[in-house]
Amino acid sequence: MVAASSLLRKKGGIVPAMGNAGPAYHFAVQGGIPLKGEVQTQSAKNAAVAVLAASLLNTEPTVLTSVPRIEEVRRLCEVAQSLGWSVSWKEEQQETRLHILPPAHLRLEQIDAESARKTRSAFLFLPALLARHPQVSFPLPGGCRLGDRSLLPHLVMLEAFGVRTEVREEVILADATQLHAADVVLLESGDTVTEHALLIAALADGVSTIRYASANYMVTELARFLQTLGVRIEGVGTTTLRVEGVGGLLHLPVSHAIGEDPTDAMFFIAAALVTNGDILIRNAPLRYLEVELAFLHLMGAEVAPVGQVRLSRNGITEVSDVRVRPGSLIAPPLKIHPRPYPGLNIDNLPFFAVIATQAEGETLLHDWVYEKRAIYYTELERLGASTLLLDPHRILIKGPTVLKPAELVAPPALRPASILLIAMLGAQGRSQLRHVYAIKRGYEALAERLRLLGADVQLDREEQ
């Protein structure tokens, strides 16, 4: 095996392989209609995939409720089933539940590599596999195409826990025969690498400390789920986590409800502002939207929590309804940039690009996290926006502009594709957004939910 630290010398680190673009569907939009009504915030994609991965550490049945039925979750279910887990959706007590049963025999050689390569989240399955077989080969994961999204922070973290890794063509070889507890400093305060470290630490024998951890909503929910399974974790919601590992698999029947998604709520906030709509977003996870709402207030947006703050269905997250009303927007005097939590959510930054098209003045976005994601924002020009790309990370958007309809191919990344759909909702006339698998990865029944708000939008199969 090659130590992960030796990969530091390789230019660009390790970049995940990509799967294909998925089913050929497109959105057909008759835009220019202000959104009106109420919408329920969807369950969190990123929390669901982390909890699903953690459930594979359990030797007893796991029941997950409020799981979003999205392509990302479907791909993970396909991977788990190919490895021997029983994964089934059941309608029980007027809700859909996902039942997960452990495998009688692990089928490593039968892994669905195609599904695994379509989602970066599949890499979180590695701890559950290593718990059952200390030497495994796993497909290099894919997901959104956002430039050089290196897996190096994951590999360095695994090395700190004694897991040796080697990358060969489109697979990663992992050896956990020397797995041990560790005091780990993460190279980046990333959500997924923190989740990965939590899962490995739960599996290791002894007390581990994870420093510079993400404190974002999906990490907190994963930690609470592991606590339900008997793992002792201190510092949940902070950047330093202390984990008392159990030295193997977990053994407790458990049920867990997935909490609401701040990024889903932000999609509808942006859609309402761009269409000059008036909507109420039910059960938005308020504590993970505070910086976004503060920037919107600075821009003059009529967006505010209403009603009582309460606990989410998962008993963890604080939620509130959010009202969005029509109004005039101005460009903020500060640049807008994301930060690890607490800060503006990295996944929510793209929505400010489309909102900025309707704001008076020039808005500067600094998307420093992902290589080249800011370049995708220039696609808004084809819908009438005025943009100036300063470099691969910074873009200047001048507004307000009258959005116009167009026919576009969706970028292979969830959030950049989503903002094009929002712009089409605000453009008077008929638009088409083709090859929207990236959007289907993160949103459930999006066309239906938009139609309930008065939008004229259809999801159709692309003609071959």
Inter-residue contact 260 to 319 (CB < 8 Å):
yes
Q: Is the pLDDT of residue 464 over 60?
A: no
Residue 447 confidence (pLDDT): 98
Q: Is the pLDDT of residue 455 over 90?
A: yes
Structural domains in the chain (count): 2
Q: Are residues 166 and 275 in the same domain?
A: no
Q: Are residues 37 and 61 in the same domain?
A: no
Q: Which of 228, 257, 286 finishes a domain?
A: 257
Q: Are residues 291 and 343 in the same domain?
A: yes
Q: Are residues 85 and 227 in the same domain?
A: yes
Domain housing 438: 25-42+260-461
Q: Are residues 268 and 237 in the same domain?
A: no
Q: Are residues 246 and 298 in the same domain?
A: no
**Residue 401 resides in a domain:** yes
Tokens of 398: 């001048």
pLDDT tens profile 161-214: 999 999 888 899 999 999 999 999 999 999 999 999 999 999 999 999 999 999
Assign 142 a pLDDT band (cuts: 50, 70, 90). Answer: low
Q: Which of 199, 227, 257 finishes a domain?
A: 257
Q: Are residues 250 and 285 in the same domain?
A: no
Residue 355 confidence (pLDDT): 98
Residue 1 confidence (pLDDT): 56
CA distance 52 to 100: 9
Q: Which of 224, 241, 257 finishes a domain?
A: 257
Inter-residue contact 2 to 141 (CB < 8 Å):
no
Q: Are residues 207 and 272 in the same domain?
A: no
Q: What is the mean pLDDT of residues 123-138?
A: 96
Q: What is the CATH number of the domain that holds 348?
A: 3.65.10.10
Q: What dihedral angle (degrees, nearest 10) is formed by the CA atoms of 444, 449, 409, 361?
A: -120
Residue 169 confidence (pLDDT): 81
Average predicted confidence (pLDDT) for the chain = 92
- Residue-by-residue DSSP string for 111-155: --HHHHHT-GGGGGGHHHHHHH-SEEEEEPP--S--S---SHHHH
**Residue 8 resides in a domain:** no
pLDDT tens profile 355-393: 999 999 999 999 998 888 999 999 999 999 999 999 999
Inter-residue contact 137 to 171 (CB < 8 Å):
yes
**Residue 18 resides in a domain:** no
Q: Are residues 34 and 75 in the same domain?
A: no
Q: What is the mean pLDDT of residues 77-100?
A: 93
Q: Is the pLDDT of residue 12 over 70?
A: no
Residue 120 confidence (pLDDT): 86
pLDDT tens profile 231-269: 999 999 999 999 999 999 999 999 999 999 999 999 999
pLDDT tens profile 46-87: 999 999 999 999 999 999 999 999 999 999 999 999 999 999
**Residue 67 resides in a domain:** yes
| SS3 labels along 297-322 | HHCCCEEEEEEEEEECCCCCCEEEEE
Tokens of 310: 């309460």
pLDDT tens profile 282-320: 999 999 999 999 999 999 999 999 999 999 999 999 999
Inter-residue contact 111 to 98 (CB < 8 Å):
no
Q: How many separate helices (H) and strands (E) can be counted in the chain?
A: 14, 23
Residue 8 confidence (pLDDT): 39
Q: Are residues 237 and 287 in the same domain?
A: no
What residues contact 10, with CB distance under 8 A and at least 6 apart?
none
Q: Are residues 29 and 61 in the same domain?
A: no
**Residue 4 resides in a domain:** no
Assign 23 a pLDDT band (cuts: 50, 70, 90). Answer: low
Q: Which of 167, 216, 164, 176 is nearest to 195 (CA)?
A: 216
Q: What is the mean pLDDT of residues 435-462?
A: 95
Helix 191-203 × helix 45-55 angle, to 10°: 20
Q: Is the pLDDT of residue 6 over 60?
A: no
**Residue 7 resides in a domain:** no
CA distance 106 to 134: 12
**Residue 19 resides in a domain:** no
Residue 91 confidence (pLDDT): 87
Q: From the CA atom positions of the chain, what is the Rg in Å? A: 22
**Residue 178 resides in a domain:** yes
Q: Are residues 436 and 407 in the same domain?
A: yes
